[in-house]
Amino acid sequence: MRTLRRYLASEVAAATALVFAALLMLFAFFDLVEQIKDLGRGGYQLRHIVIHVLLSVANHVYELFPIAALIGTLFALAQLVAGSEYTVMRVSGVSLTRMVAMLGAVGVVFAALTFLFGEFIGPPAEQLAQRLRSQAITGLVAQEFRSGLWIKDGASFINVLEVLPDSTLKGVKIYEFDAEHRLRTISFAKRGDYQSDRRWLLKDVVQTTFEDNRARVKNINQGSWQSVLDPALLSVLLVKPEQMSAWNLYSYAQHLKENRQKALRYEIALWSKVMYPLAVLVMMLLALPFAYFQRRQGGVGAKIFTGIMLGLAFHFLNRLFAHLGLLNDWPAPLSAILPTLIFLSIAMAMIWWQERR
């Protein structure tokens, strides 16, 4: 039995690695096409694009693991069926429970790798890729702290407490320094709306000016502010919740709660991070019923196509329930767990149906 377990594990692992290689090359090509349009913008050169694409691979590994595991397991089992090896296994006394256990052992390793990439490798690699890109294009340096987003703009430092989905800025602080690095003005605006050509309209501004050992404060209802910031650049500088580690998501969600701010988006992303490695096991279990189909019911190509469709459906269903949960204020665990539970139910129903035949 140990020999059979190792053989099945090696077949599934080899097929999954092959699928991974194809998918990662495809997504790396898409990233290259996406980034090449900014070639020559600022100091963004070809070497920066190559580094950006390579750093983005780690995040793609995390995102694609359930799909690659599903297609790889489908391919391996289809090959075993085509060679009658699967039939020999079952006739020799390998029960369905034993087959699930053998696939589960491989799935646990895949789930651990998914967690490793999603928690420790993907997020820092993606943040480094975005930071290198923004530095090469504009020379800006940004980092997300508990106090919000910090950005260097020439001789000024900008702190934005919150960026809304429509790129509206809330809680904008602008610290302006002179050529001798002395603080000259501090401007605080409750809100900033983007106009055009990197010009912002700041509202409810309180400006403090330091001159001749005195501080002068004035209130401005609204004022125009020219900055290198624009909505496209903000989307690069900000870290998306889906690309943050589980620990950072938990810490930031707690921070929002302490400040009486809505943290549902980050809680959904956190629970999705927790459930995503388990989705690898569910996807491999979903591939098992296809081993029952004989060759006349569809070849390897048809089964792989089915696997791709199921993987895409799972991916889009995850996105759909995350947005639905956010719009309808569903509990975060429910929004994250439902897609996995749906596919687990489908897998169990298919196995039960095949066993009944």
Of 198, 227, 256, which residue sits at a domain end?
227
285 lies in some domain: yes
Tell me the per-residue pLDDT of 106-146, one tens digit each, with 9 for 90 and over.
999 999 999 999 999 998 898 888 878 877 876 655 555 56
Q: What is the pLDDT of residue 259?
A: 66
Q: What band does 153 get if pLDDT is binned at 50, 70 and 90? A: confident
Query: Which residues 6+ apart lie within 8 Å of 124 measured at CB?
Result: none
123 in the same domain as 15 = yes
165 in the same domain as 21 = no
Q: Is the pLDDT of residue 160 over 80?
A: yes
Q: What is the pLDDT of residue 312?
A: 85
**Distances, alpha carbon 78 to alpha carbons 11, 71, 306, 307, in Å:** 11, 10, 12, 11
Query: Quick check: 142 and 134 in contact, CB under 8 A?
Result: yes
Indicate the SS3 state at residue 181. coil
Q: What band does 50 get if pLDDT is binned at 50, 70 and 90? A: very high
More confident of the two residues 274 and 232? 274
Q: Which DSSP category does 241 fall into?
A: G
185 in the same domain as 213 = yes
DSSP-assigned beta bridge partners for residue 191: 170, 203
124 in the same domain as 6 = yes
147 lies in some domain: no
CA angle 288, 292, 297 (to 5 degrees): 120
276 lies in some domain: yes
Give how many domains the chain has, as a whole number: 2
Q: What is the pLDDT of residue 237?
A: 59
Helix ranges (H only) for the chain are 2-36, 46-82, 85-91, 96-116, 122-138, 231-237, 246-258, 264-287, 300-328, 332-356
Question: Can you tell me the distance from the alpha carbon of 302 to that of 325, in angstroms, rounded to the nearest whole number?
Answer: 34
Tokens of 305: 């196509």
The predicted model gives 13-42 an average pLDDT of 92
Q: What is the pLDDT of residue 108?
A: 95
169 in the same domain as 39 = no
306 in the same domain as 264 = yes
Max Cα distance, the chain (Å): 93
Average pLDDT of the residues of the chain: 86
Question: Can you tell me the distance from the alpha carbon of 88 to that of 292, in angstroms, rounded to the nearest whole number?
Answer: 13
The predicted model gives 89-100 an average pLDDT of 82
200 in the same domain as 66 = no
Indicate the SS3 state at residue 166. coil
Tell me the per-residue pLDDT of 284-301, one tens digit each, with 9 for 90 and over.
998 888 766 544 455 667
HSE-CB at 145 with a 13 A cutoff on CA atoms is: 8
85 lies in some domain: yes
233 lies in some domain: no
Q: What band does 173 get if pLDDT is binned at 50, 70 and 90? A: very high
234 lies in some domain: no
Q: Which amino acid is at 299?
A: G
119 in the same domain as 78 = yes
Share of residues in the chain with pLDDT > 90 (%): 47
245 in the same domain as 349 = yes
235 lies in some domain: no
In this structure, of 29-33, 154-158, 207-211, 324-328, the range with the lowest mean pLDDT score is 154-158
165 in the same domain as 263 = no
Tokens 């039995």, residue? 1
150 lies in some domain: no
123 in the same domain as 207 = no
- Domain with 209, as residue range(s), is 155-227
Of 170, 196, 227, which residue sits at a domain end?
227
The predicted model gives 73-95 an average pLDDT of 83
Query: Exposed, middle or buried, 69 (CB in 10 Å: 0-12/13-18/19+)?
Result: buried
Tokens 């309808």, residue? 328
